[in-house]
């Protein structure tokens, strides 16, 4: 998934000015989603004449200037001089993040390219108190040991493979330098890795590692704080345990969830499951009639477009009550999903009144698409209904459902009241249960009231470009209810 980030330095200068960034490019490497990485850059005036720096303006919510270089009306950069300032980047979704600082003058246009890899790896299971006897032999080496059978499991919930070489894991009772350092290890999307305190682990499907006899200072039964740091020393995940579960592990399926006793899910009897998620395996084994696996989620809804140009969500130059309403979908899986024959609509219409995606519609891993009520959207990843979505999205609330080709519900949203003049967004985007729906980040005076096809409120007025979408999307033309072969990728 890519996010395009842009900065503008608006400059006015005599013709002899010559600008240059040093360094000309910055690679921040791996940065955990939600963490900020700070770097320092310098803009040089290589000419003999001064240049007037009028503004330094971040254009995206993922980039900030903690100490803006221009705090007054303007700043003169003298000849053969330079100005230094800091830039911080915070990935909001996993995947490649690309940013650009651009400096312009009447004679120069120079750029600094900034990139990072947004990663989402979290501590998914912790066993701090192995049971007595053979039941506590978590590493499967035939011997139960208090510290050797303790383990910490990691899970990659992002859409891309991540090398965890150089990452550190320990508790907060041991110095950082004493933490376990992972060797070069490629952790695929959805993959697990396990660190045991010691022993000789056997029959563990995931990559398995062994510490020096205990993890950190040994995981305290009554509670501990376990830290996962990236090779760049950013905190990727923290597990706080006030009580580690007594004879069983604590686990979770998301880094934002609390750690719960491993056997707290109905039907799960195992005390631990290093290298696999028995909680998910059990929930998948329990079939729910009329409910399909959640592979594609509804992540943004605009039911009440603002009046005037600010409400022209589809970017066709005309604000329309129903045509500018939209629903955005996101493929949260690491694989492509064929949504041919899937339908989207509210609960006020029958199946015939729902929008049906045409044959050949494939949504690539991490990609998103948008269904507008009508109009003529300019974006190639947009679909258009017959003038309104379902019976038209009700401002005071509505139930919106996404169904697969068999008619089973893949996702549903029950909105008791949509925010006025702006979209509502799922938080976090990949949340499967107990999710929050929040008003879009745009301020009342801002045109950034929605962001169809884009993760978060990263765009201003009008339709965002493909470079600002959450994935590389290629599709030929705008689609309506007429069938057409397409592929979104």
Q: Report pLDDT digits (tens) over 193-236.
A: 999 999 999 988 899 999 999 998 888 877 788 999 999 999 99
Encoding tokens for residue 92? Answer: 């909001």
**What is the SS3 assignment for 283?**
helix
Q: Is residue 463 in a domain?
A: yes
Both 249 and 319 in one domain: the answer is: no
Both 399 and 323 in one domain: the answer is: yes
Encoding tokens for residue 313? Answer: 């969500």
Both 277 and 404 in one domain: the answer is: no
Q: Is residue 14 in a domain?
A: yes
pLDDT digits (tens, 9 = 90+) for 54-68: 766 665 666 677 777
**72 CB burial (10 A radius; 0-12, 13-18, 19+):** exposed
CB 311, CB 304: distance < 8 Å: no
Specify the higher pLDDT residue, 435 or 329: 329
Both 154 and 115 in one domain: the answer is: no
Both 111 and 136 in one domain: the answer is: no
Mean pLDDT of the chain: 79
Q: Give the domain range for residue 79.
A: 3-119
Q: Is residue 476 in a domain?
A: no
For the chain, percent helix, then strand, then coil, each to nearest 5?
Answer: 5, 35, 60
CB 442, CB 448: distance < 8 Å: yes
Q: Count the neighbouring beta carbons within 10 Å of the beta carbon of residue 9.
A: 23
**What is the SS3 assignment for 103?**
strand
Both 230 and 105 in one domain: the answer is: no
pLDDT digits (tens, 9 = 90+) for 314-339: 888 999 989 999 999 988 877 788 99
Closest of 120, 67, 119, 121 to residue 97, by C-alpha: 119
Q: Assess whether pLDDT exceeds 80 at residue 463.
A: no
Is the entire prediction scored with pTM above 0.75?
no
Specify the higher pLDDT residue, 10 or 261: 261
Encoding tokens for residue 448? Answer: 């950034």
Here the CATH number for the domain that contains residue 43 is 2.60.40.10
Q: Is residue 478 in a domain?
A: no
40-68 per-residue burial string, b: 16 or more CB within 10 A, e: under 16 = ebebbbebeebbbbeebebbbbbbeeeee
Both 327 and 443 in one domain: the answer is: yes
pLDDT of residue 10: 42
**Domain count for the chain:** 3
Q: Are strands 151-156 and 260-261 parallel, antiparallel or unpaired?
A: unpaired
Residue 99 pairs with which residues in a beta bridge?
5, 114
The DSSP secondary-structure symbol of 247 reads B
CA 32 from chain center: how many Å? 10
Give phi and psi for 467, each to the nearest 5.
-70, -15
pLDDT digits (tens, 9 = 90+) for 343-390: 999 887 888 889 999 988 888 888 889 999 999 987 767 899 999 998
CB 35, CB 123: distance < 8 Å: no
Q: Write out the E strands in 157-270.
A: 162-163, 168-171, 180-181, 186-187, 192-196, 208-210, 224-229, 235-241, 250-251, 260-261
Both 178 and 258 in one domain: the answer is: yes
- Which residue do the tokens 């330098």 mark? 177
Closest of 455, 442, 169 to residue 297, by C-alpha: 455
Domain boundary among 285, 311, 342: 285
Give 443's contacts (C-beta < 8 A, 6+ positions apart): none
Both 237 and 127 in one domain: the answer is: yes
Here the CATH number for the domain that contains residue 386 is 2.60.40.1260
Both 464 and 318 in one domain: the answer is: yes
- Report the percent of the chain where pLDDT is more than 70: 79
Both 101 and 190 in one domain: the answer is: no
Query: What is the torsional sign of CA 132, 133, 137, 143?
Result: positive
CA 378 from chain center: how many Å? 25
Q: Is residue 482 in a domain?
A: no
Domain boundary among 90, 119, 148: 119
Give 465's contacts (C-beta < 8 A, 6+ positions apart): 4
Q: Is residue 484 in a domain?
A: no
Encoding tokens for residue 346? Answer: 């509210």
Both 401 and 326 in one domain: the answer is: yes
The DSSP secondary-structure symbol of 367 reads -
pLDDT band at 256 (very low <50, low <70, confident <90, very high): confident
Q: Is residue 487 in a domain?
A: no
Give how far Cα 213 sits from Cα of 126, 217, 375, 443, Å.
Answer: 16, 10, 65, 54
């Amino acid at each position: 998934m890519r996010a395009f980030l842009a900065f503008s330095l608006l400059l006015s200068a005599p013709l002899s000015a010559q600008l240059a960034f040093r360094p000309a490019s910055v690679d921040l490497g791996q940065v955990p989603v939600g963490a900020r990485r700070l770097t320092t850059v310098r803009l040089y005036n290589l000419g003999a004449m001064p240049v007037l720096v009028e503004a330094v303006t971040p254009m995206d919510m993922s980039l900030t200037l903690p100490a803006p270089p221009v705090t007054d009306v303007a700043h003169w950069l003298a000849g053969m001089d330079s100005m230094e300032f800091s830039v911080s980047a915070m990935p909001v979704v996993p995947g490649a993040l690309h940013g650009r600082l651009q400096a312009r003058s009447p004679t120069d246009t120079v750029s600094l390219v900034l990139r990072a890899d947004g990663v989402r790896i979290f501590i998914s299971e912790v066993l701090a108190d192995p049971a007595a006897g053979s039941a506590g032999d978590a590493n499967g080496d035939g011997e139960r040991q208090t510290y050797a059978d303790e383990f910490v499991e990691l899970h990659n919930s992002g859409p891309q493979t991540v090398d965890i070489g150089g990452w550190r894991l320990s508790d907060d009772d041991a110095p950082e330098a004493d933490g376990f350092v992972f060797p070069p290890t490629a952790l695929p999307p959805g993959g697990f890795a396990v660190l045991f305190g010691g022993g000789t682990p056997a029959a563990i499907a995931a990559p398995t590692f062994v510490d020096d006899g205990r993890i950190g200072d040994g995981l305290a039964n009554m509670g501990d704080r376990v830290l996962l740091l990236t090779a760049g020393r950013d905190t990727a995940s923290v597990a706080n345990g006030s009580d580690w579960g007594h004879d069983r592990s604590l686990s979770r399926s998301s880094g934002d969830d609390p750690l719960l006793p491993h056997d707290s899910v109905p039907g799960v009897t195992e005390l631990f499951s290093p290298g696999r998620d028995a909680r998910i395996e059990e929930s998948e084994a329990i079939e729910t009639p009329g409910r399909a696996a959640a592979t594609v989620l509804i992540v943004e809804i605009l039911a009440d477009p603002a009046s005037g140009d600010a409400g022209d969500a589809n970017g066709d130059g005309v604000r329309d009550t129903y045509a500018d309403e939209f629903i955005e979908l996101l493929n949260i899986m690491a694989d492509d999903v064929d949504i041919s024959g899937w339908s989207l609509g509210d609960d006020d219409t029958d199946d015939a009144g729902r929008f049906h995606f045409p044959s050949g519609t494939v949504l690539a891993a991490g990609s998103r698409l948008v269904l507008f009520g009508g109009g003529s959207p300019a974006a190639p990843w947009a679909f258009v209904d017959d003038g309104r979505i379902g019976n038209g999205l009700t401002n005071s609330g509505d139930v919106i459902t996404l169904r697969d080709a068999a008619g089973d519900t893949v996702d549903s949203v029950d909105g008791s009241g949509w925010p006025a003049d702006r979209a509502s967004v799922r938080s976090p985007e990949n949340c499967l249960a107990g999710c929050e729906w929040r008003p879009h980040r745009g301020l009342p005076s801002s045109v950034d009231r929605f962001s169809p096809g884009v993760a978060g409120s990263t765009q201003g007025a009008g339709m965002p470009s493909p470079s600002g979408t959450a994935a590389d999307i290629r599709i030929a033309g705008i689609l309506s209810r007429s069938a057409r072969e397409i592929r979104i990728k």
